[in-house]
Copies of this chain bind each other. A is one copy, B any other.
Amino acid sequence: MNSEFNIAVHCLTLLSLKEERMANSEEIAKSVCTHPARIRKVLGLLRKQGYVTTKEGVGGGYLLNPGTEKVTLGDLYRLLARGSLKPSWCSGGEELPCEVASNIEGIMDQIYSGGEAALERYLDGITLTDVIKQIEEAGSAANPT
């Protein structure tokens, strides 16, 4: 699947763990390990969903909205990576004389949709809170108090 889903999870957990729940695209890009413009693109989509608020101008950046921790990975999947199961190339073709060739595409489409539904159900069971908790646990294991 698409890596923007991965980026979204990363950005939101990072913001949640930040004091002030805020950071700018440059800082986030360092942690994600990509270019700030890419972060701005993904966070622009998350803003449209109401997950973050952006502040332009000096001292600006992205602010995590309250309640966003309840968002599930399924929500983020649907927003950023829906349809990623079906490959860009598929076999057969409507116009071909072969019975299999002309019908397989529709059947495989159904199968990919079903697979995606199964995947979404799984991802709906994981919230950002779950991911954040795991990060915190991993961190405290590395630096025990």
Contact check, A99 vs B139: say whether CB atoms are below 8 A apart.
yes
Identify which of A25-33, A46-54, A57-65 touches chain B.
Answer: A25-33
Contact check, B121 vs A87: say whether CB atoms are below 8 A apart.
no
Count of chain copies: 2
* Interface flag for A93 (CB, 8 Å): yes
Please tell me which one of the listed residues B17, B104, B123 contacts residue A13 in the complex, with CB atoms under 8 A apart: B104
In the complex, A83 Cα to B100 Cα: how many Å? 28
Please tell me which one of the listed residues B2, B106, B108, B122 contacts residue A118 in the complex, with CB atoms under 8 A apart: B122
Contact check, A33 vs B134: say whether CB atoms are below 8 A apart.
no
Chain B residues with Cβ below 8 Å from A121 are 118
Contact check, A135 vs B114: say whether CB atoms are below 8 A apart.
no
In the complex, A101 Cα to B139 Cα: how many Å? 11
Chain B residues with Cβ below 8 Å from A118 are 118-119, 121-122
* 16 CB-based A-B contacts, threshold 8 Å: A1-B85, A2-B87, A3-B87, A3-B90, A6-B108, A7-B91, A10-B100, A13-B104, A33-B101, A99-B135, A103-B135, A104-B135, A107-B131, A111-B123, A115-B123, A118-B119
Given contacts A14-B100, A31-B96, A106-B138, 15 further A-B contacts (CB under 8 A): A1-B86, A6-B87, A7-B91, A9-B108, A10-B101, A17-B99, A31-B101, A32-B91, A33-B91, A33-B92, A99-B138, A103-B135, A107-B135, A117-B122, A118-B119
